[in-house]
Structure 1
Amino acid sequence: MQKEQDYVPFIHRLADAAGAAALAGFRTSIHVDDKGLAGAAPDDVRRYDPVTEADRGAERAMRALIEETFPDHGIVGEEYGRHQQDAEHVWVLDPIDGTRSFIAGVPLWGTLIGLMHNGRPALGMMAQPYIGERFFGDGESAGYRGPHGEGTLKTRRCADLADAILFTTTPALFDRDERPAYDAVERKVRLARYGTDCYGYCMLAAGQADLVIEAGLQSYDIVALVPIVEGAGGVVTTWTGGAPTDGGRIVASGDPALHEQVLRELAICQA
């Protein structure tokens, strides 16, 4: 019986394959299709949902490796859907998380590779092939590999919103009911930065930031990041403190005390 740590070499193989496919299209004149939600309001971020052949090619490369190596494993991917999703082991893939950054030439995108075991996130990696960084974790520990070598990821202590650095991809993620709650938290932090996608969670795990708040996420946007953040000492839940596996409204904190404070703030604003 294989343990989750036995899959670490394989997850690096998946990252290698996805990275080669993604980099072939980065900072090129690659064609962009729009999967956006028809009829969405002008201020709804879902009205424009770009996808490229780099997204599709990276996911195809990972799926082919998984199907060849572990044919009894399930797969959930952003571009090609679900396969054997009730299996004991299920790979959850977002080939390019942050496609908007990708098509704009900004290297704040990454390949997300998560492994679920019996319905819980057991192993995760965020790989940024252009910069050459990989962040990975198993829920108990988390590590980094990049241009400056290898190291351990550890969140930092920050128990008060007034001292916190907050990330979100864009305030446009939040609908009319969610935005006041997010704004209330942002007004209380020391610094807020936008445009981070998956990178924000990895900076939280690395102790560079304290809080990520987002909404409208899918499972493939968050499953890979949970073992990284938790392995570094952080917390990831929904806005109501539930399991984050299915996505939705997500909050991640480096300090458990800060997390409780943020959950209370979000609950007050939504009451």
Structure 2
Amino acid sequence: MRITDADIALAGRLADAAGAAIRPYFRGSHGLEMKADTSPVTLADRAAEQAMRAVIIAESPRDAIQGEEFGNRDGDTGRTWVLDPIDGTHSFIAGRAIFGTLIALVIDGWPVLGVIDQPIQRERWVGAAGRPTTLNGAVARTRACDDLSRAALATSSPHYFGEHDAEHYLALVAATKAAGGHGPLYGGDCYNYGLLASGHLDLVVESGLKIHDFAALVPVVEGAGGRMCDWSGDPLTAASKGDVIAAGDPARIDDILEALACRGH
């Protein structure tokens, strides 16, 4: 599952194409609609994914594509580009520049290349198996966290947890506040994982994500020295159900799983 410089360069061109499609709609007329699952979609989401798909079809036509807005396109290489044109559409609609474009290359079910691109602030995290994660070309590193009670925890929204998962999440919140912490940070979607990769957060926990929500995050976080897994401690793959832990300090994973108290849940 070797990642080449050409793969990384192609991922960069995809991010460039998506950003060029998104920026004209930001804080402007974005044509909001609600999809069948009641999630929002805008002209920017669709334009960005179409732009990325066009690049892949032109430059790597045998690879498969799995996109949030336009579904699956088959390939025959064992390689799939997984695209989320705007992760954090609610933030995009509100004019908050904490959404991001997610681009992943998944090979035989394993995420091996990931990009988190914030096109307004022009911040781009790139992670690839066997290589250090970078932010705008400079190496990004997670930070050490010597005790879970002092961990800075983030999640997109407490409302995204189902009732069962919410109980486990709140147990983790209690554990991170044991030393008088200030509680979790809400909002941010994929941007939180970039902040964790750069050493500004210690822990991000979510549930119910889809592959286009998490595939790009894994190489970014792990290439920066962190670890990602599901709520049972297993690696994240295309078959994962979407309960996600990202820890900046891998030494805290067992503490996190114990606080969640849901191994095999």
List per-residue Cα deviations over 1:164-223 (Å, max 9, x = no partner).
000100001111101011011112223410001000111111011100000110000010
Alignment of 1:1-271 (within 5 A): 3-35=3-35, 37=37, 48-84=38-74, 87-140=77-130, 141-145=132-136, 150-189=137-176, 190=181, 191-245=183-237, 246-267=240-261
Residues 53 and 268 (structure 1), Cα distance of their counterparts in 2 relative to 1, 3 Å cut: closer
| Structure 1 stretches lacking a partner, 5+ long | 38-47
Q: Which moved more, 1:215-224 or 1:6-15?
A: 6-15
Q: 1:106 & 1:119 partners in 2: Cα distance?
A: 33
Q: Offset at 1:247?
A: 4.7
Question: Contact between 1:139 and 1:226, CA under 8 Å: does it hold in 2?
Answer: no
Structure-2 residue corresponding to 1:45 = none
Q: 1:50 & 1:172 partners in 2: Cα distance?
A: 16
Give the letter aligned to residue 221 of structure 1.
D
Residues 211 and 2 (structure 1), Cα distance of their counterparts in 2 relative to 1, 3 Å cut: closer
Report how many aligned residue pairs link the two structures: 257
TM-score (norm 1): 0.90
Q: 2:71 & 2:262 partners in 1: Cα distance?
A: 36
Give the letter aligned to residue 208 of structure 1.
H
Q: Offset at 1:10?
A: 1.3
Give the letter aligned to residue 262 of structure 1.
I
Question: Contact between 2:145 and 2:252, CA under 8 Å: does it hold in 1?
Answer: yes
Q: Give the share of equivalent positions with the same residue, in percent.
A: 44
Name the Cα RMSD after superposition: 1.8
Q: Offset at 1:13?
A: 0.8
